[in-house]
Amino acid sequence: MKHLTTKFTRCCAYRLERRFGYDGAVERLQERIDNGSIEERSLLADILQALRTSRTGTGHH
């Protein structure tokens, strides 16, 4: 299950970055994390982490 989640978060991060650019994606995620429920925050934090990981070159593009 964890593997599926990782793949999902990477996909979300990739799509957000394609749509809004890196800074825009981070900004939107941060905003949603601040206003989201506990469940949402956990998932959004994972997506934000995946976005940052892909940005530093250790992720997949």
CB-based contact 2:10 (threshold 8 Å) = no
CB-based contact 55:26 (threshold 8 Å) = no
Give residue 58's pLDDT. 52
For the entire predicted model, the pTM comes to 0.77
44-61: per-residue pLDDT in tens?
999 999 999 887 765 444
Which of the two residues, 60 and 3, has the higher pLDDT score? 3
Residue 58 domain-assigned? no
Residue 39 domain-assigned? yes
Residue 10 domain-assigned? yes
Residue 22 domain-assigned? yes
Residue 7 domain-assigned? yes
CB-based contact 5:39 (threshold 8 Å) = no
The whole domain housing 36 covers 2-53
Residue 61 domain-assigned? no
Residues 6 or more apart in contact with residue 46 via CB below 8 angstroms? 5, 9
Check whether 25 has a pLDDT greater than 70. Answer: yes
3-state DSSP call for residue 46? helix
